Amino acid sequence: MLMLLFAELGLNEHHQNEVINYMRFARSKRGLRLKTVDSCFQDLKDSRLVEETFTVDEVTDMLDGLQTVVHSEVESELINTAYTNVLLLRQLFSQAEKWYLKLQTDISELENRELLEQVAEFEKSEFTSSSKKVETLLNPRL
């Protein structure tokens, strides 16, 4: 199944491993950002939810503040993700230019739901099987 996905996308084993490394990096960054968003909610609970009853204005004020913080965190991460992708493209294009190649991108493919679902399925199967491999190594069956 994994090789089928990458065969359909035209990637060899080396490039497949590069994609896996990038996905590992992206998953790590995503996990860190989600923890940051979770901490925004926890901070609100810890600092503002000290009374048992609140007025509508107090709740509105708390939610507005939370919205501002979460909006800022998500925006920051989206910007950082875009910049990270630009750096990745820069690396690829620099390598291609050394061989006098001119790579082209098809931006419309970035929103191809079918391809996005294939990548999501690959991520799911790759990282589920990776965690199973680690689990097997840590807890071998007797």
Let me know if residue 125 belongs to a domain: yes
Start-to-end C-alpha separation, the chain: 29
pLDDT tens by residue, 6-56: 555 568 889 988 999 999 999 999 999 999 999 999 999 999 998 889 999
Q: State pTM to two decimals.
A: 0.77
Q: Is residue 101 part of a domain?
A: yes
- Is 142 within a domain? no
Domain that holds residue 51: 2-136
DSSP string of 65-81?
Answer: HHHHHHHHHHHHHHHHH
Share of the chain above pLDDT 90, in %: 68
How many structural domains is the chain composed of? Answer: 1
Which helix H or strand E contains 32, and what residues bound it? helix 13-48
CA distance 11 to 17: 10
Per-residue pLDDT, 2: 52
By CB neighbour count within 10 A (0-12 exposed, 13-18 middle, 19+ buried), where does 122 fall?
A: buried
Structure tokens at 133: 């491999």
3-state secondary structure of 120: helix
Mean pLDDT of the chain: 87
Say if 132 falls within a structural domain: yes
Which whole number is the average pLDDT over 57-74?
97
Confidence category of residue 110, pLDDT binned at 50, 70, 90: very high
pLDDT band of 137, cuts 50, 70, 90: very low
